[in-house]
Amino acid sequence: MSAPIAAYAYGTAREMAFIDRLRKREESILLLTGYLSAAAKRVNWGDIDGLAAVEYAQIQLREAHQVVQQ
């Protein structure tokens, strides 16, 4: 018996986990800037709350800039 389709769903929580992984990288500012640039062009967000994901990425980018300024 196969797993239900919902088990494979890629939603907002997984998108935020992806953003967290970008934030942990040394080049996080570049990666998060690229993410936000691509997000502005994204048409189909599927099961992802696009507004929440973008806002979360913006917060992570601000925090990355603050760390660099310290």
- DSSP at 47: B
Residue 56, C-beta contacts closer than 8 angstroms, at least 6 positions apart: 16, 19
Residue 58, C-beta contacts closer than 8 angstroms, at least 6 positions apart: 36
27: in domain: yes
65: in domain: yes
59: in domain: yes
Asked if residues 52 and 12 have their Cβ atoms less than 8 Å apart, the reply is yes
1: in domain: no
34: in domain: yes
Question: Which range marks the domain in which residue 19 is found?
Answer: 11-69
What tens digit of pLDDT does each residue of 24-67 get? 999 999 999 999 999 999 999 999 999 999 999 999 999 999 98
* Residues pairing with 11 in the sheet: 47
61: in domain: yes
17: in domain: yes
What tens digit of pLDDT does each residue of 7-30 get? 567 899 999 999 999 999 999 999
The answer to whether the predicted template modeling score (pTM) of the entire model surpasses 0.75 is yes
C-alpha to C-alpha distance for 51 and 54, rounded to whole angstroms: 5
3: in domain: no
